[in-house]
Amino acid sequence: MKWNKFRLKTTTAAEDIVSSILSDLGIEGVEIEDKVPLTQKEKEQMFVDILPETIPDDGTAFINFYLEEGEDKDAVLAKVLEELAGMREFVDLGPCTIEESQTEDVDWVKQFYVDDILIIPSWEQVKPEDEGKMIIHIDPGTAFGTGMHETTQLCIRQIKKYVTDTTRILDVGCGSGILGMLALKFGAAYAVGTDLDPCAIDATHENMKENGVPKEQYEVMIGNIIDDKAIQDQVGYACYDIVAAKILAGCFSLSANILADVLVMLTPVIVSQLKPGGIYITSGIIDDKEEVVKQAVADAGLELLDVTYQGEWVCVTARKSE
C-alpha cells in the first residue's frame, strides 16, 4: 500500500497544538521532529550516562502525517490549512508550510520471517503458503519495534532453543513484549517484562491481547532493574529459568558501543534473578564489542554456552551454575 506523506513545518512551542489539530481532524500517528534537548527523565530512561551530541534547538519542528493513497488529500489538506489559519490568530504556529511525498508500507514495516515464524501487521492477510507457520501480529506505529531488528531475531532463536513448558522468563527491555509473548507461544509457563518506558505497559498488553495470550500468563513492570532495588525485589530473585536482555538504540540513535556497556552493567545484576542452571540470553551487541560482553559474562560467574551472529550483531548465551 502506498501512502501520501506530508511534512508540516511549525515551531517547537506549537507542535503540541498542531498535533492536536491534526488529531481532531482524524489524522492519527503523527511523527514529530525537533531539536528540543532531552529532559532529565528522558535521560534516565536511556540506561546510559554517555549521550550522543545533539544539535542546538533552533525552535523549528516538523510534523509528519500520512494519508492513504485513496483518500481525498486535497479535501483533507484544505481542512488542515483552514484550522491552522484559524489558530494562527491566537498562537504563533510558524510558517506552516507543507511538503508532500509518497511512501510505502515497506518504508515502515513489512511482514517478515524468523525461521518458521511469520510476524505480520494485524491488517495483512496471511498467504495460503504461510498458514502452517506460527503467526504473530504486531503493528507498526507504537513506541517500539516489531521484532524485525537482528538483535530481536537472535534472541527469539535462542529462547526457542531453551524454553520448556515450565519456563519462567524475564524479558529485560521488553518494549512491545515480543520476546515474552513468543516464549509463551513456544510453551513457557509465565513471562515477566521490565522496561524504562511506561508505554511498554500498553504496548505489551495490546500485543498480547492481539495474539491471544491471557493476562494470567504475564506481567509488565516499569523501572531500571540495574540500580533500582525496588524493581529488583518486585521482579524477584532466583526464580527465572531464562533471562533475555535485548538493548536497542531505538529512536535516540545511541552508539552501539554504549549498548554493549549497558549489558556489561546489567549482567552481574541479572545473575540474582536467574535460578541455578538458568539461561541468560543477551543481544544488542555490535560485533566489535563481542569480547567485552563475553568477559562480563565470565566475570559474573556464568558459563558461556553459545555465540550467534546475524549481520553485524551478536547474541551471547550463558548459563548460571547449578
- Examine the domain organization and report whether 214 and 303 are in the same domain: yes
Count how many residues are written for the chain: 322
Residue 127 lies in a domain: no
* Pair (239, 182) in one structural domain: yes
Is 259 within the bounds of a domain?
yes
> Which DSSP category does 94 fall into?
-
**Residue 290: which CATH number?**
3.40.50.150
Across 171-175, 216-220, 226-230, 253-257, least confident range:
253-257
**Same domain, yes or no: 227 and 295:** yes
- C-alpha grid cell for residue 316? 551471547
Mean pLDDT, residues 91-113:
77
Strand order in the sheet with 98-104: 31-34, 60-68, 2-11, 98-104
Q: Which amino acid is at 137?
A: H
Which is more confident, 277 or 260?
A: 277
In a domain, 141, yes or no: no
Count how many domains the chain has: 2
Which amino acid is present at 2? K
Q: Are residues 88 and 170 in the same domain?
A: no
* The domain boundary residue, chosen from 82, 106, 130: 106
As a whole number of angstroms, the distance between CA 235 and CA 169 comes to 11
| Percent with pLDDT over 90 in the chain | 52
The mean pLDDT value of the chain amounts to 85
Residues 97 and 157 in one domain: no
> Are residues 47 and 174 both part of a single domain?
no
164 and 92 co-located in one domain: no
Identify which of 219, 246, 235, 236 has the alpha carbon closest to the alpha carbon of residue 316.
246
The CA-based angle 149-30-82, given to 5 degrees, is 160
Q: Are residues 89 and 161 in the same domain?
A: no
pLDDT band at 107; cut points 50, 70, 90: very low
User: Are residues 31 and 161 part of one domain?
Assistant: no
Question: 84 lies in a domain?
Answer: yes
Strand partners for 30 = none
Query: 175-200: b or e for each residue (b if 16 or more CB lie within 10 Å)?
Result: bbbbbbbbbbbbebebbbbbbbbeeb
Higher pLDDT, 139 or 160: 160
Mean pLDDT of 95-124: 78
Angstrom distance (rounded) from CA 177 to CA 172: 10
Tens digit of each residue's pLDDT (9 = 90 or more) over 118-150: 988 887 788 899 989 999 988 754 544 555 678
Q: Is residue 76 a contact partner of residue 70, using CB atoms and an 8 Å limit?
A: no
For residue 284, what are the domain limits? Answer: 146-319
Residues paired with residue 172 on neighbouring β-strands, in sequence order: 194, 245
Domain boundary among 106, 138, 166: 106
Same domain (yes/no): 102, 200: no
The pLDDT assigned to 287 comes to 77
186 and 313 inside one domain? yes
The whole-angstrom separation of Cα 92 and Cα 171 is 45
| d(C-alpha 142, C-alpha 106), whole Å | 16
pLDDT at 255 over 60: no
Query: Is there a domain that residue 121 lies in?
Result: no
115 domain residue, yes or no: no
The helix/strand/coil state of 249 is coil
Contact 98, 77 (CB under 8 A): yes
Q: Is the model more confident about 317 or about 247?
A: 317
Strand partners, 220: 193
CA distance 256 to 87: 43
Three-state DSSP at 25 gives coil
Considering 35-39, 88-92, 217-221, the range whose residues carry the highest mean pLDDT is 217-221
Which residues have CB under 8 Å from 239's CB, separation 6+? 168, 273, 275
Residue pair 273/241 in contact by the 8 Å Cβ criterion: no
Q: Which of 106, 129, 164 is the last residue of a domain?
A: 106
Residue 133 forms part of a structural domain? no
- Looking up residue 25, the CATH number of its domain turns out to be 3.30.70.120
Q: Are residues 226 and 314 in the same domain?
A: yes
Cβ(319)–Cβ(159) under 8 Å?
Answer: no
Q: State CA 106 to chain mean position distance.
A: 18
